[in-house]
Amino acid sequence: MIKVTRELKTGIIAILTIIAFIWGFNFLKGKNLFDNSKVFYVEYNNVQGLSMSAPVTINGLKVGNVTNITFHPTKKETLVVAFSLNKDYSFSKNSSAEIYAPDFISGKSIKINPVFTGTTAVSGDTLPGLIEEGILGALNEQIAPLQTKVESFLINADMLLQGINKVFDVNTQANLKEAIASLNSTLSTFRISAKSLDTMLADGGQVDSVLTNATVASHNLVKLTDSLNNANLKQTINKLENTVEGFNTILANIKSGKGTIGKLLEDEKLYNNLEGAAKDLEELLTDLKLNPKRYVHFSLFGKRPKPYSSENVKEE
């Protein structure tokens, strides 16, 4: 019987420990040392927080894990993601590997968008890489223009406030306070006027009295109109027109010299005779006043009056 030394036992245990450590480490990283899985590579400019051992899915089914993430040796700012597929699933090299977020809680994952036309992909091939925007990405795209507008608005608002601060200096503030005080006084006056107007518009007020008088006047006007209608206004107007026509006829006759008034106005000879008679009458009256004895003789004894002569007048 072969005797196993203590050193051999120690060496075997150490080898088994190392193997177990390596296997456990790779198992935690999602690697399986005892399978023949396919390995593929994808290049990204940004892995969006993709971590090692992240799941790789096809149509929602987990088919592998991310095994390594490193920088590209020759391309700057390019990351190379390596993942292994445990399932025997064939697709072409035109298929893409897209980074996406299954939900809000879990981290990023890779989903393969399989394409079956073209050359079949084999282990070690590099697939085209895509990045899904996701809900947050879509929100960021929608919010970005709004953010720009909000920033512009804030800048304009800040400029406006600065301008207002410059305009509203001490003098302006004092003037504004004075204007507000005047406005308060005006409002108080307006309130008093409004109360007066309410009083005027109330029942029994001045406006109500005016409206009442207007109503009475309109009723009286209606009655007057009815009275005029009942008084045969047309006949009255016709009579008035006939009267005016007669008066016009009289005026025309007078103007043409017809009738006594017309002759007095139009016959110059008759006018001259009347004027002469008026003068003679005036002279007669004057002489009667000056020499009444010439025309009136009165005697208590019945003395016969002397005949008129100019000598007697002189004696007297």
271-295 pLDDT, tens per residue?
777 788 888 888 888 887 787 777 6
Token code pair at residue 180: 């507000």
Q: Is the same domain home to 56 and 104?
A: yes
Determine the structural domain holding residue 19 and report its residue range: 1-34
Q: Has residue 113 been placed in a domain? A: yes
Q: Is the same domain home to 53 and 96?
A: yes
What value does the mean pLDDT take over residues 211-234?
76
Token code pair at residue 246: 């007669």
Which of the listed ranges 126-140, 154-168, 254-268 does the model predict with the highest average pLDDT? 154-168
Q: Is the pLDDT assigned to residue 30 strictly greater than 60?
A: no
Q: Has residue 124 been placed in a domain? A: yes
Altogether, the residues listed in the chain come to a count of 316
Q: Is the pLDDT assigned to residue 133 strictly greater than 60?
A: yes
Q: Is the same domain home to 42 and 28?
A: no
Q: Is the same domain home to 128 and 44?
A: yes
Q: Is the same domain home to 53 and 118?
A: yes
- pLDDT for the residue 70: 93
The answer to whether residues 100 and 109 touch, using CB atoms and an 8 Å cutoff, is yes
Q: Is the pTM of this model over 0.95?
A: no
Q: Has residue 94 been placed in a domain? A: yes
Number of domains in the chain: 3
Q: Is the pLDDT assigned to residue 240 strictly greater than 80?
A: yes
Q: Which of 95, 117, 132 is the last residue of a domain?
A: 132
Please list the alpha-helical segments (H only) found in 119-232. 134-167, 170-201, 206-230
Q: Which of 115, 132, 149 is the last residue of a domain?
A: 132
Q: Is the same domain home to 273 and 306?
A: yes
174 band by pLDDT with thresholds 50, 70 and 90:
confident
Q: Has residue 15 been placed in a domain? A: yes
The answer to whether residues 53 and 97 touch, using CB atoms and an 8 Å cutoff, is no
Q: Is the same domain home to 28 and 45?
A: no
Mean pLDDT of the chain: 79
- Report, in this order, helix, strand and coil percent for the chain, each rounded to 5: 55, 15, 30
Q: Has residue 211 been placed in a domain? A: no
What value does the mean pLDDT take over residues 94-115?
88
Q: Is the same domain home to 122 and 45?
A: yes
Q: Has residue 103 been placed in a domain? A: yes
In which residue are the tokens 């005892």 written?
34
Q: Which of 116, 132, 148 is the last residue of a domain?
A: 132
Q: What is the pLDDT of residues 177-210, one digit of tens each?
A: 888 888 888 988 888 888 877 777 676 667 677 7
- pLDDT for the residue 76: 86
Measured between alpha carbons, how far is 58 from 201 in angstroms, rounded to an integer?
85
What value does the mean pLDDT take over residues 286-309?
63
Single out the residue of 116, 99, 96 nearest to residue 108, CA to CA: 99
Single out the residue of 67, 116, 74, 81 nearest to residue 95, CA to CA: 116
Measured between alpha carbons, how far is 290 from 296 in angstroms, rounded to an integer?
12
Q: Is the pLDDT assigned to residue 64 strictly greater than 70?
A: yes
Q: Is the same domain home to 29 and 47?
A: no
Classify 48 in phi/psi space as left (phi over 0), alpha (psi -120 to 50) or beta. Answer: left
- pLDDT for the residue 27: 66
Question: CA of 36: how far to CAs of 29, 39, 62, 86, 204, in Å?
Answer: 16, 9, 17, 8, 109
Q: Provide the strand spans (E) within the chain.
A: 38-44, 55-58, 61-71, 79-85, 96-100, 109-113, 126-127, 129-131
